[in-house]
Amino acid sequence: MVGQSAAFLKMTALIARVAACDAPALLEGETGTGKELVARAIHYQGHRRDRPFVPVNCGALPDLLVENELFGHRRGAFTDARGDQPGLLARADGGTLFLDEVEALSAKGQVTLLRFLQDRHYRPLGDTREQASDVRIVAASNTSLIQRAEAGQFRLDLLYRLKVLFLEVPPLRARPGDAVLLADHFARVCSERYGQPLKTFDPATRAWLGAYAWPGNIRELEHWVYRECLLGDGPVIERPPLAPPPTERRRGMERRRRELGELDALDYATAKAKVLEGFEQRFLTSVLARARGNVTAAARLAGTERRYLGKLLKKRGLDKTADPA
């Protein structure tokens, strides 16, 4: 784990405290923020470090086989069950079972997991005896589970079982300075892994690395560094990708969020009128600019009559540049 920002240091301090306990823990954070790495840090800093760390993506658990995946089965439990097969709980016994994308569990999968968390006992398919499992559960979600529970998409009782300890993994944009450190780290890893000369970043690119919002977070940064190191020419990476300046992109995103927030407070008719007003303003401004202020030419470009376009321009206060009739 690489970083020195205040958000990163706060997270690492909380990881140490969570690792010292043995209760279930829930990690929440955007895609690509490194939640599995945080889960591994919790495991290897705790007293279960010498036992297995078993990760599983809940979105990949088939609904019909979720019990078999978690609990395992005995020989003859179903067709083609030619031998005993331990489940994930048995494989992680004494260690940590990491449930990534736990929000993707089906309703059946949620009930199955809840049943185990209630008393830590389970019964493999085809077995008549219950087994106990000494395993720590660490779950992770890309979305807010409380919001999903309020929307009826996740069991609230299961959420309470998982969220005994809670840690929010911050996005890369909330970790100023860490993107440059991570880029240097990934460049070294790439050099060692693929036997390539170590590449560095010129000052302009380093400034861009720190300013870009990285919507895909650490995963996006890692893939970008690998691509530039493996395909770029020369020992120095000196050209940022062709993308809108980060500050302009953030301003646009903030403006859209603000507009959507304003619409949320309106009724349907008022919200629709507001959206149409904004569209008309932007369209008329654009078509006038293309026609260099000539209303007749603008009407031709817009595919409408000059008189109707003139009324719209007057309505939106854009008729000052209108050509004489």
Q: What is the pLDDT of residue 32?
A: 93
Flag whether the pTM goes above 0.75: no
pLDDT over 90 (residue 61): no
Better-scored residue on pLDDT, 15 or 245: 15
Question: Is the CATH code 3.40.50.300 the one for domain 6-170?
Answer: yes
Q: Give the number of C-alpha atoms closer than 13 A to the C-alpha of residue 255, restricted to the C-beta side.
A: 7
Q: Is residue 92's pLDDT more than 60? A: yes
Domain map (residue ranges) of the chain: 6-170, 173-237, 266-321
Given a cut of 80, whether residue 252 has pLDDT beyond it is no
For 149-207, write each residue's pLDDT tens digit. Answer: 998 999 999 999 999 999 999 999 999 999 999 999 999 999 999 998 999 999 888 99
* Cβ atoms of residues 42 and 25 within 8 Å: yes
Where would I find the H helices in 195-305? 203-211, 217-231, 246-264, 268-290, 295-302
Q: Would you state the pLDDT for residue 135?
A: 94
Per-residue pLDDT tens over the stretch 217-250? 999 999 999 999 998 888 998 866 555 444 555 5
CATH class of 173-237: mainly alpha
